[in-house]
């Protein structure tokens, strides 16, 4: 009986861990698979990290705090993590391509709008995204 109880506790903990890691998804955007995670429930929130080159995993703790009220979307930006093209040059990495990637994620999720939170260089990207895709942004937070 104690083993079954311990197993059940471990199983619940494992699934809670998976939920905090988020659902692993990808979308094809301009010739590259862009990987992203969705964590939590509620209003959609795109979180754009700094860098350039910041790892999306860095913001998992923030998503854990926001998960009850927000549906956090963490994108592995073009050129980082599993969203790396075979060749890194101006034809595969650019701000315009990155903004297109965000739009591809939004469309795949079926969202009309989302809030956008940008940190440091991510704030710069978030500002440009809001400028070029104003109908997609319900609110903008820059840190």
Please give the residue range of the domain that contains residue 106: 2-142
Q: Are 59 and 102 in contact (CB under 8 A)?
A: no
22-79 pLDDT, tens digit per residue, is: 788 999 999 999 999 999 999 999 999 998 889 999 999 999 999 999 999 999 999 9
| Strand ranges inside 2-143, DSSP E | 23-29, 32-39, 43-48, 70-75, 114-118, 137-142
pLDDT over threshold 90, residue 15: no
pLDDT over threshold 90, residue 7: no
Q: What is the CATH number of the domain that holds 9?
A: 3.40.50.1820
85-101 pLDDT, tens digit per residue, is: 999 999 999 999 999 99
Residue 39: strand pairing partners: 72
Query: For residue 86, what are the contacts with CB-CB under 8 A and spacing of at least 6?
Result: none
Q: What would you report as the CA-atom Rg of the chain, rounded to the nearest whole angstrom?
A: 17
What pLDDT is stored for residue 20 in this prediction?
A: 52
For the segment 107-114, the average pLDDT, to the nearest whole number, is: 98
Work out the pLDDT band at 5, boundaries 50, 70, 90.
low
pLDDT over threshold 70, residue 124: yes
Number of domains in the chain: 1
């Amino acid at each position: 009986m104690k083993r079954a109880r311990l197993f059940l506790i471990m199983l619940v903990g494992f699934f809670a861990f998976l939920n905090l890691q988020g659902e692993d998804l990808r979308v094809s955007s301009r010739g590259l698979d862009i990987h992203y995670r969705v964590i939590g429930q509620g209003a959609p929130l795109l979180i754009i990290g700094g860098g350039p080159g910041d790892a999306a995993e860095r913001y998992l703790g923030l998503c854990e705090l926001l998960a009850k009220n927000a549906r956090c979307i963490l994108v592995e930006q073009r050129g980082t993590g599993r969203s790396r093209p075979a060749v890194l040059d101006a034809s595969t990495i650019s701000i315009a391509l990155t903004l297109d990637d965000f739009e591809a994620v939004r469309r795949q999720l079926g969202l009309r709008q989302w809030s956008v939170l940008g940190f440091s260089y991510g704030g710069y990207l978030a500002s440009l995204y809001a400028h070029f895709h104003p109908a997609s942004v319900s609110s903008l937070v820059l840190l």
